[in-house]
Amino acid sequence: MIGGTKRMCEEFVLSNGLRVVAEPIENYPSVSVGLWIGAGSMYESAEENGLSHFVEHILFKSTENRTTKQIAVEMDALGGQVNAFTAKECTCYYAKVIAEHLPRAMDLLCDMLLNARVDEAEFEKERGVILEEIAMCEDTPEDLVYDLLAEAYFGEHPLARPILGSHDQIASIGREALLTFKKKHYRPDNTVLAIAGQFDRTQFRDMAERLLGGWHAEGETHIPAPVESTKPRMLTRKKDIEQVHMCLAFPGVEQDDEDLYPISVMNNLSVDCDCDAHPAAPEMGDIGILASTDPVALDKACVDLVYASDDPGKVHLIERIESRHGTHTLDHAAAIGLGDPDYELIDIDN
């Protein structure tokens, strides 16, 4: 029950094994549809790091049926939103359009997915775009700190690697490696088609079968190893800026654990404020610009994150977070070496 209205999701499987989750919403003028692929940084080897995101870029270039310009023009003509994103566990290609444009949106998404042309010139152009993205992340400490946190928390596990990949890795990766990666992970049994909004169940089922039912793949996709227990560590990176950004991570619950929802409520009650905008929070003192918490549920792991930013050198930032979460951060603050190393990973004994 959501808002007093009972919603029913229908699940079915196409002839090639592709799973479909459909939720019609009556009297809704638009529809959202997405193709979710089990391809993210968690599924990459060290040599493949960044390829999930690279493939996402390439699929928005030309196909066997459309030029790059035609794809862009058609996306604009739909009058909605056609986009994609890459995460740790998946890559999603989606469209949000008015209901009458669903067939055109589906045709465009499926053409990009199944008929992409990996042109050498476009490949090199996107390599440059991604290298710029990596450079931007390095210059954005509130983004960089999360990559450092994943590296410190997950250690040698693929979840520790950045979604964008490293500069050296992207600069050296070849077109054939991208094609091999796409073939391994882009397959019907590793894909979910999801739709919600105004659509006809029978017509959509027939449409999905017509557009995607002939898609087949051989072999098996890569399944990452489970996350092993982690030990306390700190990873620091010095930058010549006016703020210090820090994250803490704690073991959480599994994605399908019922305790995930109480933890989400607890996080909202715990710390989630812009301290400059909310001076009525005296317990936060003058610790900074932003403090928030967030449980990140993954298929293979769940961590509880604490994020804060402040002026550098203020140890009371660590003290406030410690008092809120019962951690032992302050005891180890000297081990961080704030202001000393440019980049340092430190193991901390319990």
For residue 154, which amino acid is it? F
Contact criterion met (CB below 8 Å) for 338 and 286: no
Can 138 be counted among the known catalytic residues? no
Residue 248 DSSP class: E
Q: Return the residue matching tokens 């009650």.
A: 269
Stretch (H or E) spanning 92: strand 91-98
Contact criterion met (CB below 8 Å) for 223 and 260: no
Q: Could you give the dihedral angle defined by the CA atoms of residues 204, 210, 215 and 216, in that order, rounded to the nearest 10 degrees? A: 100
The span from the CA of 233 to the CA of 347, in Å, is 4
Q: What is the DSSP string of 17-56?
A: S-EEEEEE-TT-SEEEEEEEES-SGGG--GGGTTHHHHHH
Cα 273 → chain centroid? 23
Cα 102 → chain centroid? 25
Q: Which residues neighbour 1 within 8 Å (Cβ) at sequence distance 6 or greater?
A: none
Query: Catalytic pick from 48, 56, 122, 126?
Result: 56
347-to-9, 190, 232, 254, 314 alpha-carbon distances in Å: 46, 37, 6, 25, 22
Residue 242 DSSP class: S
The span from the CA of 257 to the CA of 260, in Å, is 6
Q: Is the dihedral of CA 154, 157, 298, 252 positive or negative?
A: negative
The span from the CA of 43 to the CA of 222, in Å, is 6
Contact criterion met (CB below 8 Å) for 92 and 36: yes
Q: Cα angle at 284 between 279 and 288, to 5 degrees?
A: 80
For residue 310, which amino acid is it? D
Residues designated as active site: 56
